[in-house]
Amino acid sequence: MDHIQMQMLRDIQKLEFTAIELTLYLDTHPDEQAPLNDYNKTAEKLDSLKMLYEKTYGPLMAYGFSSSPCPWRWIEGPWPWEITL
Amino acid sequence: MPKNSTTPSQNYPNPQAPQTPNKPPTPKNPATLSYYPLATLAQAYVPVQTYDKTFSPEEALEKGTLFPELYRPYPY
Amino acid sequence: MWLYEKILEYPVRVYKTDLRMAKYLMAQYGGPDSELSAGVRYLTQRYSMPTNRAKGLLTDIGTEELAHWEIIGTMIYKLIKDATPEQLRQEDLGGYFTEHGQAIYPADASGIPWTAAYIQATGDPVTDLHEDMAAEQKARTTYEHLIRLTDDPGIKDALRFLREREVVHFQRFGEELNRVQEELIANKVF
């Protein structure tokens, strides 16, 4: 795993965590516009960042969420628990 | 919207670029101010959080919450 | 349906073998107040919740707990992967090695296997949400004990993140408890 891949994974983690926090907040405050705007903006950025990552480093999700060249890239290591950097 | 959030157009090969430090904002509506005037005996209540300042995505991940008013660091 | 994403919720920076700490961390992997108990508890209780908010909240927090379970599993994996059987025996993990080798099996810090007896689902949303709030507090306490047991900055860092999540989840369950109680009083639910 190279330095750039690590950096991109870290950036995805940052945005995804913001999205998780806003999800839980919205679950108990479903009628509030400001957190909803932030959620939607975060989701959009996260989506394009993940697409950029997957183009170079392979799918973050299988189950039909992104396509794969041959050979099937989903099973490429390292898996999340094996990352050593 | 949290500042300093990452965009896909960011220049990845240069991760050492200087970053603006983030100061934790002071919430203008501390959660402790909200309470239940009609609270019933023998029931538990938690003050409802109000949406205010949030940490940047980077600081949120590092601290474990997006919300300054929920951040309770453990001193060990 | 669940979708697995090939990324940890929080990075695990653990580089050394530390069998004693791995053993303590089993409390959060397969103990009564573990992330596994939390995930199974919330994902079980959600079916009998009376409001859509509560169903959503238990689904989302339950799912996040599984991501925390993966973080704990990753920490234990990294702490024991390079250990020899002799090292495991010296740290009183010989019995564990006999039964599980270097696998990451859901048992507690004393080797007792995980059981559904650690969780409850009563069908009463007020009762279940109280259990959930208590569970978040028990897990927070367990994380504080674990933080006191290590000097490794990488382990401490991930444990601090997980501990803070317990605080946030407690808040969200509390907000939903208020709402469920209000609705019960207004007789909207039963």
- CATH number assigned to the domain comprising residue C165: 1.20.1260.10
pLDDT band at A84 (very low <50, low <70, confident <90, very high): confident
Tokens of C88: 């495991």
Alpha carbon of residue B9 to chain centroid: 25
pLDDT band at A81 (very low <50, low <70, confident <90, very high): very high
Give how far Cα B19 sits from Cα of A40, B50, B53, Å.
Answer: 25, 29, 20
pLDDT tens for B15-73 read 454 444 444 444 444 444 455 656 788 999 999 999 999 999 999 999 999 999 999 99
Residue A83 domain-assigned (yes or no): no
Burial of residue A69 (CB within 10 Å: 0-12, 13-18, 19+) is exposed
Q: Which domain covers residue C51, as residue numbers?
A: 19-109+121-185
> Per the structure, how many domains does chain A have?
1
The percent of chain B in helix, strand and coil, each rounded to the nearest 5, is 15, 0, 85
**What does the alpha-carbon distance between residue C163 and residue C37 come to, in Å, rounded to a whole number?**
16
B contacts of C173 (beta carbons < 8 Å): 46
Secondary structure class of A18 (helix, strand, coil): helix
Q: What is the pLDDT of residue C95?
A: 95
Give the residue ranges of DSSP H helices in chain A.
3-28, 33-57
Residues of chain A whose C-beta is under 8 A from some C-beta in C?
Answer: 9-10, 12-13, 16-17, 20-21, 23-25, 27-30, 59-63, 65, 74, 79-81, 83-84
Mutate to test the interface with B, among C151, C163, C164 (most CBs of B within 10 A): C164
User: Does residue A70 have a pLDDT over 80?
Assistant: yes
Residue A69 domain-assigned (yes or no): yes
Distance from CA of A45 to the nearest CA of B (A): 6
pLDDT band at B9 (very low <50, low <70, confident <90, very high): very low
Nearest CB to C167 within list B48, B62, B70: B70
> Per the structure, how many domains does chain C have?
1
DSSP B47: P
Residue whose token pair is 């609705």: C183
Nearest to C70 by CA among C21, C111, C9, C113: C9
As a dihedral over the C-alpha atoms of residue A53, residue A58, residue A61, residue A64, rounded to 10 degrees, the angle is: 120
pLDDT band at C185 (very low <50, low <70, confident <90, very high): confident
Q: Report ipTM (2 d.p.).
A: 0.97
pLDDT tens for C31-76 read 999 999 999 999 999 999 999 999 999 999 999 999 999 999 999 9
